Structure 1
Amino acid sequence: MSFKKAVLAVGAVASLFAAGAANAAYSQSATDFSANYAFSNFLNNDGSFNLSFSSVTGKLEFNLPPATPGGTDRHIVLDWGDGTGTPTYTYNGVAYTGGNVAVTGAGITEVLSLFLPSLAAQLTPVINAQEVFVLNFNLNSGLNFGVTETNTTVNGTPATGTSAEQALLALSVSPNAGLLASSLTDVTATVNNAPSVIVNNVPEPESFALMGLGALGMLAARRRRA
């Protein structure tokens, strides 16, 4: 479908997942999720780092509140099955292959807590929970994220405290180095009410519906003029 190349840009997941810890509409789950993962590019203090997964099987599922007031709830499913077939990635039932999202520091650590709880426990105390990160992801070759810190918080004020890159650098030395490159096996878990992402630019189905109605209106006007 043409939606496969749609960009998933969440506005702080900075206007992608605008949900807080008290929002019951947010939940995430991992079902039989297995993968090899590795962090990289966190040694040069450039404000960005990478997280890549390979040999992925199983499913990740996210239920999110609307990106804007009055919008539709969002349902994202990343399903690799047993690893032998073609993976499916859907956003409210529409296929896509990647994009970018703005997420808070709290959102990043909560997502990591789903399948990397030991690492999330190390990062949570040192990452600014309100800081905004831009997360670019590619689903074509497994699951690959490039994360860049914006150095600002959700309300636009300068971020303070340890950067995520600096926190990863500290974890790259013994005895924690194993947290940054390892394997996950059969993770089955659910997290509810997690602080989340803030905004999303994946074309919403209703947006296309409105575009379609607009086109029909233009055609009707032309016929009346004729």
Structure 2
Amino acid sequence: MSEFTWRALLIGLPLTLILGAANAYLGLRAGVTIAATYPAAVISMAILRLFRGSILEENIARTAGSIGESVAAGAIFTLPAFVIAGVWPSFKPGDAYWKSTALMLVGSVLGVLFVSLVRRVMVEDRTLPFPESVAAGEIHKAGQRGSQAAKYLFYNMGFGAIVYFLGALKLFAVDFDRFVSLGSLGSSLKLGAGANAPAIQTGGVTKFAAPSVSPA
């Protein structure tokens, strides 16, 4: 049964770019990323089923597609921290692009090598399966249910694109923000009953924001 084939790589590499870019956007906008393993598993399985691909090829394509999410998360959470902390003061677009690429490349290689060495040591319960990998494996083994899952996934992607497009056209408000005053600015509260008891300043304004309707 074929496993590491050009067909699997040609499917996995575009998934890496798409899911990595999507997670970078989502992480910078919302502060969280999602696991790309599951959509990569469903999409790769749906495509390879059209070409009579093996389950091992699906696993290779899914693994390649899920790498982009990990690299993107490592970049969007660490590189801005370098700039904010002043470690990287001269962050210029042209020069920073190649330096960021080199950092992500070296970090990815070191991560793979390091995990390969300490994996057996870090796993406390060796009989406990990895839930994410088990779930992805079940998707590959689902057969006909997997094709149905792919159909629903593509439907949801299309629905999300339509909602985002309509929100960008300002046809409806994608979020809801309101300011609420708490007391009056400049008012004070005594910490004690005596005349000389210390006082603290109270009052202010807080902001409530409803979740965005946008897919991101």
Normalised by the length of structure 1, the TM-score is 0.25
Larger Rg: 2
Name the structure with the higher strand share: 1
The answer to which structure, 1 or 2, has the higher relative contact order (CA under 8 A, 6+ apart) is 1
Name the structure with the higher helix share: 2
